[in-house]
Structure 1
Amino acid sequence: MAEVTNTGEKSAEFSAEIAQHDSHGEIARPAGWMYKSFGIGKHRMWYASPAFQLGLVAFVCFMCPGMFNALSGLGGGGLKDPHVADQMNIALYSTFAVVGIFAGTIVNRIGVRYALAFGGTGYCLYAISLLVQVHFNTTPGIHGFNVFAGAWLGLTAGCLWTGQGAIMMSYPLEARKGHYFMWFWAIFNIGACIGALIPLGQNIHHTTAGNVNDGTYIAFIVLMFFGAILGLFVCDADKIIRPDGSRVIVMKNPSWKTELIGLYQTIRTEPMVILLFPMFWSSNWFYTYQQNAVNAAYFNVRTRALNNFLYWFAQIVAAVIIGPLLDIERVRRSIRAKIAFVVLTSLTLVIWGGGYAWQKRYDRQDVGKGSDFVAWDWTHSGYAGPMFLYFFYGLYDAVWQGIVYWIMGALGNSGRKLANLAGLYKGFQAAGSAVSWSLDDHNVSYMTIFASNWGLLMASLLCAFPLIWFRIKDSVPIEEDLKGTDETIEDVFVPGALETKRVGPEAI
């Protein structure tokens, strides 16, 4: 740790007059409306602060992927026959897989604001295509439109989720990354919960299986549209000032060439990240099984909606628990990583062990067309068991995603690097999802799909063990984050913030 007293030359971007410390003791920030603080007591933020921007991004995801999750969680996109949604999702995740690999490059080049707004358009079109499918399913070309909508969402969602991941992992200080996951994941899944309540309320008197009604789709379409518009109000990373006066590390003048090189450098300088790729791959693999083989296969419309609500509510509960635990300051971060690994492994054995006990009851032929199976309602005497299982499936999803994001965030603090990692994460995640949805579309037995889930999750934990156990450091030096960029330490801090300030890993 070195004592830094020279702030260096002011960059052109921040050559405006610097605001002085105010009565709240806040560090110097540039003048302008983006940096005027508000709040109560010590809890202050400003428009271009990490906390406020994370809130904006969370509400974009509240209305776009949050509503998408609520719709998908009904099984089959709310349709009685899940095969149309299967094929849409195969197109979605196949496209997403390709785009995701390079999405970090795209986001670094165009900025997170346009990435999020563009990303929201695909969700709206996806919901529109499902509504069209309900009314014009026999019209020539409609199925092609559904597949196109899925592919378009794959393109746009790759940009949205990479921008979101970069913000959530690179904007906060190192000691707050778990909390930022908690805030984002809770707000995002409140959207999914509210989205799940829409079909629950509109179908509460429907005790037979079938499609959800038009009002459900229309509500989703309107909310998704507003989510895309809200994305335009997000600041790009070069405008963000953290509470300690530091800025997010980005390239000053990014080009497609520099960002493609940056993607290569991300893997070359952090080769052990490859060990996380199986965790990336399996992180959404289980959605197909849970939504189609459990929820859509075994329950009627209103019970599917209730299960869906409980699933996303469980994610909020899990995020509120896991986020602060990942940031406990009195335990070294390297130790926290090991504890997180043990907890996640234990949950994989216990929760999916319970899932095996449930799946032994039936398979595809027992509940599919031609069988005399009657979909369960929540009034069925045996409903409590699968209800709690589905709740814990949702809890498990949030714990898995939270720990993966936290591990990636522990590998660095550079916005450029973490955008590339987020893109790789979403790309491999989407590739796994595409294969998983294809298995369901080809009528692979439910028990086989279940086994693929449990096996992949355990195998991916085994692969990630060396990185989690030996690579996670208690902090990442700023010099390591600056490698491969044209930034200096003076560039990373607002002029004035470095005066008599100790610069160390904890400051970023």
Structure 2
Amino acid sequence: MFKLPRYNSPMTQVIIVGFVCFLNPGMYNALNSMGGGGQVDHTTGSNANTALYCTFVVFGVIGGSIVNLFGVRWTIFGSGFTYALYSGSYIYLNHTQKGGLTIAAGALLGVGAGILWAAQGMIMVSYPREEEKGKYIAVFWIIFNLGGMLGGILPFAINFHSDKKSLADGVYIAFVILECLGAFLSLALCPPAKVVRDDGSSVVLVKYTSARKEAIEIIKLFLNPTMLALLPMSFASNFFYGYQFNCFNGGIFNVRTRGFNNIFYWGFQMVGSYLLSFLLDKQEWTKRKRGLIVFGIVAVFFNAIWGGTLKLQLRYTHGPTANEDTDYPGGSIDFTEHGRAAGPIILYLLCGVGDALYQNFAYWIIGALTNDNLKLSRYAGFYKGIQSLGATVAWQLDAKKVTFMHQLIGNWVLLVISLIPMFYVVWNLKDHVNDAIPDDDAVVTGKEYTAEADEKVIA
């Protein structure tokens, strides 16, 4: 008989944070993957994303320390409303054609997103036991990408009978409501110090931290050889979104078909993540063997995807504008044109599979380095911060009207470069990580903390 996990179990907490991300970053991803935030002119959306990722770079890197200092619930709660503000700003853009509010909202969203993703990464990779990390990553990724699927259904349904080139106000209002719900849902998270595994152990020994200590530890990240080796992986891990969403999905499909495509882009991410978890948690293999096999799969799959994308890109040079349609042969594709639509749609959904494989593997590598929650919150923040630096560059390339072909080449080259140091890190993984207990008078088990102290620690 199916039994629900305990409220304070690691799995319950990962499920809750998964639904928070379903309603916040998941909705953002759905909106963003429409191309230009659902606007016919991608310039404002690309500039807003540039502003977003500029602040995300900073707050991604320091986000883990902010979470360590203030706890997960209230930091995620405040972060959730920055997503709602961003989506709501597009209503103003629809009626005024002035992009200042959207760009400012994007910058604020970068602050919230950096903190939220640092908290999420810590929960996802430090709460489970070593042999379960692939499963927990997959559970989160599946729930999270349900948000992208729902976000694809909304514009597809609302714009089904509309020939507008930009999304209607109703779509943006729906996003705002869902994102506010996500913010409030974060309050259901259990204080980390009370999270207990099924064997009765706290998720890890915990201690108080301080702003001074966190500042020192952030500096150490940039002196850590392993973190430096993972810089290209982190930089490349979201770089391709600008091309895939604006140049591919936004470049050759009409509005309702973009929403239709995103149902499958995010849906097939769940499939890729689920299948990968079996390899990442296969205990018959050493950690290095698992890592090398998955590395090979990721490398081959991603290169095949970019090869197929290059073949498609050779057929057109630009997407739709205010004055003319895309120069893709036959104009913008509608999903009902089966002969024209099938190939590009399948390729686009495979891009979603590739995204899931790459990012799930990246999180697994980070989780394989340590079991210390304080370290993992910083590692996750470092990953998201450098990831955002890459995204900043990518979105600005699109905003500056860099040709689609040059964006594609840049993405492919960056991917190949990232694989080399990634291989080095995987090759040097150890089967078991023994994190030393810090020599600090404040080190205690999670069960010894009072309720008042719960939100001041990371367990």
1:254 maps to 2:209: yes
The answer (yes or no) to whether the contact 1:209–1:299 under 8 Å persists in 2 is no
CA distance in 2, matches of 1:356, 1:375: 18
Within-5 A mapping of 1:92-241: 92-137=52-97, 142-206=98-162, 208=163, 210-241=165-196
Aligned counterpart, 1:327: 281
Residue identity in the other structure for 1:442: K
Q: CA RMSD in A?
A: 1.9
Question: Residues 440-466 of structure 1: CA distance to partner in whole angstroms, max 9, x if unpaired?
Answer: 011000000000111101100112221
Structure 1's 349 and 484: CA in aligned 2 closer, same or farther, altered over 3 A? farther
In the aligned structure 2, how far is the partner of 1:487 from the partner of 1:163?
22
Q: What is the match of residue 413 of structure 2? A: 455
Match of 2:253 among 288, 299, 306: 299
Distance 1:265 1:437 in 2: 29
CA distance in 2, matches of 1:361, 1:222: 40
Show CA shifts across 1:131-155 (max 9, x none). 1110122xxxx42211110000000
Separation of aligned partners in 2, 1:299 and 1:243: 48
CA contact (8 A) 2:41 2:321 kept: no
Residue aligning to 2:353: 395
Matching of residue 474 in structure 1 with residue 431 in structure 2: yes
**Pair 1:261–1:238, CA change in 2 (3 A):** farther
1:377-429 Cα deviation digits (max 9, x unpaired): 12332211101100100000000000000000000111100000010011001
2:309 aligns with: 355
The yes-or-no answer on 1:408 pairing with 2:363 is no
Distance between the aligned counterparts of 1:484 and 1:84, measured in 2?
Answer: 51
Is the 1:237–1:415 contact (alpha carbons within 8 Å) kept by the matching residues of 2?
no
Is 2:334 aligned against 1:377?
yes
CA drift at 1:245? 2.3
The one-letter code of the counterpart of 1:357 is K
Shift of 1:375: 1.5
1:199/1:369 CA distance change after superposition, 3 Å: closer
Aligned mates of 2:274, 2:413 — CA distance in 1: 28
CA contact (8 A) 2:206 2:445 kept: no
Largest Rg, 1 or 2: 1
Structure 2: which 5+ residue stretches go unaligned?
449-458
Taking the aligned partners of 1:493 and 1:87, their CA distance within structure 2 comes to 44
Q: Offset at 1:232?
A: 1.6
Measure how far apart 1:261 and its partner are: 2.5
Alignment match, 1:243: 198
Cα pair distance change 1:110/1:367, threshold 3 Å: same
Tell me, yes or no, if the aligned pair for 2:193 and 2:446 is still in contact at 8 Å. no
Assess if the C-alpha contact under 8 Å between 1:63 and 1:224 holds in 2: yes
| Identical aligned residues as a percent | 40
The answer to whether structure 1 residue 86 and structure 2 residue 40 are counterparts is: no
**Amino acid paired to 1:189:** N
Superposed, which structure 2 residues align to 1:281-296 within 5 Å? 281-296=235-250
C-alpha displacement of 1:266: 5.0
Q: Deviations for 1:71-101, whole angstroms, at most 9, x for unmatched residues?
A: 1111110111111111111110011011111
CA distance in 2, matches of 1:149, 1:371: 29
Contact 1:246/1:494 (CA < 8 Å) preserved in 2? Answer: no
Tell me how far 1:234 sits from its aligned partner.
1.2
Report the secondary structure of 1:383's partner residue. helix
Instruction: Provide structure 1 residue ranges, at least 5 long, that are not aligned to the other structure.
Output: 1-39, 496-507
Indicate whether 1:439 and 2:397 are aligned. Answer: yes
315-324 vs 370-379, greater mean Cα deviation:
370-379
Q: One-letter code of the match for 1:354? A: G
Mapped to 2, the partners of 1:162 and 1:378 lie a distance apart of: 37
Structure 1 residue 251 displacement after superposition: 4.7
- Matches of 2:394 and 2:217 in 1, distance apart? 31
Greater mean alpha carbon deviation, residues 443-452 or residues 77-86: 77-86
Change (3 A) 1:274 1:343: same
CA contact (8 A) 2:204 2:446 kept: no
CA distance in 1, matches of 2:322, 2:101: 26
Match of 1:501 in 2: none
Question: Cα–Cα, structure 1 residues 333 and 492, in superposed 2: closer, same or farther, change >3 Å?
Answer: farther
Q: CA deviation at 1:371?
A: 4.9
- Name the SS for the 2:230 alignment partner: helix
CA contact (8 A) 1:91 1:147 kept: yes
SS of 2:147's equivalent? helix
Is the counterpart of residue 273 in structure 1 residue 251 in structure 2? Answer: no
SS at match of 1:241: coil
Q: Could you say if the C-alpha distance between residues 484 and 303 of structure 1 is closer, same or farther in structure 2, counting changes exceeding 3 Å?
A: farther
SS in structure 1 at match of 2:99? helix
Deviations 1:298-345 (A, max 9, x none): 111111111111110111111111122210111111210111111111
Query: Structure 2 vs 1, CA of residues 415 and 114 (structure 1 numbering), >3 Å: closer, same or farther?
Result: same
Change (3 A) 1:454 1:241: same
Q: Measured at CA, do residues 345 and 487 of structure 1 come closer, stay the same or move farther in structure 2, by a change above 3 Å? A: farther
1:70: which partner in 2?
30
Describe the shift of the 1:164–1:486 C-alpha distance in structure 2 as closer, same or farther (beyond 3 A): farther
Contact 2:56-2:114 within 8 A present in 1 as well: yes
Q: How many correspondences in the alignment?
A: 444
The answer as to 2:297 corresponding to 1:343 is yes
Residue 207 of structure 2 aligns to a residue whose secondary structure is coil
